[in-house]
Amino acid sequence: MSFKKIGVLTSGGDGPGMNAAIRSIVRCGLSRGVEAAGVIRGFQGLIDGDVISLGHRSVSNIINRGGTILKTARSEAFKTEDGQKAAAAAIKKFGIDGLIVIGGDGSYRGAQDLYEKYHIPVICLPGTIDNDLYGTDQTIGCQTAVNTALDAIDKIRDTAHSMERIFVIEVMGNRSGYIALEVAVGAGAEDVLIPERKFDYEVLCRNIVEGNQKGKISWMIVAAEGAAKAPEVAAKIHAMTGLETRFVVLGHIQRGGVPVGADRILATRLGAKAVDLLVEGVSGKAVGVLENEINVVDLPNACKRENKHVDEYLRLIKILR
Ligand code: F6P
């Protein structure tokens, strides 16, 4: 069978750089004589039959845009057998010979279902700000999210220092403390709370009080959302130390904005590789980069990665506070 049409969708939480990946997929496909179909709203768009044709011009001027022109969703319907059957049928109906799924671990599992149960050729691209997928050093969107959070924290530092306050800053990361650790080191925060490690309020507050006694007038704690909620942490610190404490939840601003160069380049390289693999008849894989070389792994293995640098970062934060 000659490969004629590639489908592409973005799924789960969006991340800056997804558009650069879509552009790369469409144009690399065209360069190999393959048409591109864009599925709107991720797997839900397959179920709804919401599929559009993407040409060279459809992806003009998007390399520098955050979000995803294809829109994205977390589809409940796709988690059911009927939903998956409908999605697989739509892939056949639209003449899609292979599907590229850009998303995080949930999207990877959805793609794996299509591949294993319905024999749909799929390739996944790591599109999540969480940077928690195996087989890649970076996921598309993470570097932009880290920079966005750093930019915000630099501003918070000005007021924290001027008003001699403690600040608790909540960043994204439900099961992954990756963003929190990067941001804590990059912002020069005094402490970090991450889902990978338990924390103790007694120790946290003792450090703050000791710092305060030594003349440290402001204290910044970065909390990953999955480790602790900033309002609660701030209230507890105030109750335990009597020191004035404020909190900021950075929330979804971390998912938006102009993608930084690293995310655009990563997305472009991985999009091109995904097209090559599908056209060459390879599927059931996820692509990433390891030490700047493109890396291809089997899908079932790609859904989760432990951060190997947790202890190194925690040590640094402690030493440098
Ligand atoms: O998976 C990406 C992510 O941004 C997580 O860091 C965060 O916990 C989650 O999505 C938030 O999802 P939603 O946009 O549905 O609130």
Which residues does a 6 A CB cutoff place in the pocket of ligand 1? 12-13, 104, 128-130, 172-174, 225, 255
Average pLDDT over residues 146-165: 96
Q: Domain holding 226: CATH number? A: 3.40.50.460
Residue nearest to atom 4 of ligand 1 (CA): 13
The answer to whether residue 306 is domain-embedded is: no
The answer to whether residue 27 is domain-embedded is: yes
Q: What is the pLDDT of residue 301?
A: 87
Q: What is the pLDDT of residue 303?
A: 85
φ, ψ of residue 61 to 5 degrees: the values are 60, 30
Residue nearest to atom 11 of ligand 1 (CA): 13
Both 78 and 88 in one domain: the answer is yes
Residue 198 exposed, middle or buried by CB count within 10 Å (0-12, 13-18, 19+): exposed
Q: What is the pLDDT of residue 1?
A: 64
End-to-end Cα spacing for the chain: 61
Both 293 and 204 in one domain: the answer is no
Catalytic residue among 14, 105, 130, 263: 130
In the chain, % of residues over pLDDT 70: 100
**Can you give the residue range of the structural domain that contains 249?**
143-256
Q: What is the pLDDT of residue 217?
A: 86
**Nearest to 250, CA basis, from 288, 285, 220:** 220
Residues 16/62, Cβ–Cβ less than 8 Å: no
Average pLDDT over residues 157-173: 96
Residues 293/137, Cβ–Cβ less than 8 Å: no
Q: Are strands 35-39 and 51-54 parallel, antiparallel or unpaired?
A: antiparallel
Both 57 and 93 in one domain: the answer is yes
* Among 18, 108, 130, 142, residue to substitute to test ligand 1 (most atoms within 8 Å of Cβ): 130
Average pLDDT over residues 113-138: 97
Q: Mean pLDDT over all residues of the chain?
A: 97
Residue 100 has pLDDT above 90, yes or no: yes
Average pLDDT over residues 172-199: 97
Residue 215 has pLDDT above 80, yes or no: yes
The answer to whether residue 311 is domain-embedded is: no
Both 9 and 122 in one domain: the answer is yes
Both 104 and 194 in one domain: the answer is no
pTM above 0.95, yes or no: yes
DSSP, res 85: H
Residue 40's pLDDT band (boundaries 50, 70, 90)?
Answer: very high
Both 225 and 88 in one domain: the answer is no
Residue 304's pLDDT band (boundaries 50, 70, 90)?
Answer: confident
Residues 192/221, Cβ–Cβ less than 8 Å: yes
- Catalytic residue check, 130: yes
In total, how many domains does the chain have? 2
**Nearest to 73, CA basis, from 98, 107, 100:** 107
Both 166 and 93 in one domain: the answer is no
The whole-angstrom separation of Cα 22 and Cα 9 is 8
Q: What is the pLDDT of residue 283?
A: 97
Tell me the per-residue pLDDT of 67-97, one tens digit each, with 9 for 90 and over.
999 999 999 999 999 999 999 999 999 999 9
Q: What is the pLDDT of residue 305?
A: 86
Kindly list the distances between the CA atom of residue 159 and the CA atoms of 156, 213, 273, in Å, as whole numbers in the listed order: 5, 20, 45
The whole-angstrom separation of Cα 283 and Cα 264 is 24
